[in-house]
Amino acid sequence: MDSAGLRELLTFYADAGVDEPLLDEAADRFEETRIEAEKRAARREPVRQKTVVPPQSRPAVPKAAVPDDAQAARARELAGSADSLEALRELLSGFDGCNLKTTAKNTVFADGNPQASVMFVGEAPGRDEDLQGLPFVGRSGKLLDRMLASIGLDRTSAYISNVIPWRPPGNRDPSPLETEICRPFIERHIELVAPKVLVTLGNPSTKLLLNTQTGIMRMRGNWAAHKTPSGRAIPTMPTLHPAYLLRNPAHKKLAWNDFLAIRLKLDEAGGSGAPVS
Ligand code: URA
């Protein structure tokens, strides 16, 4: 392939979100799968009849030790000990218990005004956020800025963060364990900011912060309450994620309704959204 063709292919990959190689050498997965299948076939033994062992005579299986459980406990301990946002930011930056940190370039803590009346929480940083160390600065961030502006807000009158502070490699979904390890930090983050109104952007942050399995399409547009670790209830509006709206622009009208409800709530709460003095 000539250099123009190669450039075109790389541009195609970049547009599709493939922006990092995970191996130094190309791997032929089709060939690997074929060899594996051949090996399995060569090993195949005649199928034996299974003997059913009654439960009471089965040997006790020791519970597997999951070291990540310890990391989740450590995260809870650290996050709970932070008595200010600065302390929390420092503790999070120094925390090595989540493997996402090893591939991320930056810890993405927050952007905007921590004294604002309203806090927005997304899922996880993407490539642009990882490079700049700030949440929502890429394409979906630009849309979020326009959505904020539509109700008279900007990053001086709103505060923005994510459930996960490190970019998952290749923008994959964070695993449940990774989310569990990061959970205490975002919960303490919200508690320390103590916004009058919380907005969850998309499914993952809605499910985590509202402790629900109900999908965003049913949750959005309805006020709910986020319970802080110390038991305070914060009025919370789940709404559609800007990245989803970029893919489904016809649903922007739903998000617009949600944003009008947020504006109304802020007005009722006596906050323009601007810092509470
Ligand atoms: N999507 C998110 O959920 N958060 C970001 O910061 C960027 C994109």
Q: Are 239 and 200 a contacting pair, CB within 8 Å?
A: yes
Residue 14, C-beta contacts closer than 8 angstroms, at least 6 positions apart: none
- In this prediction, residue 66 carries a pLDDT of 44
pLDDT digits (tens, 9 = 90+) for 213-266: 999 999 999 999 999 999 999 999 999 999 999 999 999 999 999 999 999 999
* For range 10-39, the mean pLDDT: 64
Q: Are 80 and 184 a contacting pair, CB within 8 Å?
A: yes
- Closest atom of ligand 1 to 135 CA is 6
* pTM score, whole prediction: 0.77
- Closest atom of ligand 1 to 201 CA is 3
pLDDT digits (tens, 9 = 90+) for 167-196: 999 999 999 999 999 999 999 999 999 999
For domain 69-268, say whether CATH 3.40.470.10 is its number: yes
Cα–Cα dist 266/58, whole Å? 60
For residues 13 and 84, the model is more confident at: 84
Residue 254, CB-side half-sphere exposure with 13 Å CA sphere: 21
- Find the residues whose C-beta lies inside 6 A of ligand 1: 122-126, 129, 135-136, 138, 140-141, 162, 243
Alpha carbon of 127 to ligand 1 centroid (Å): 9
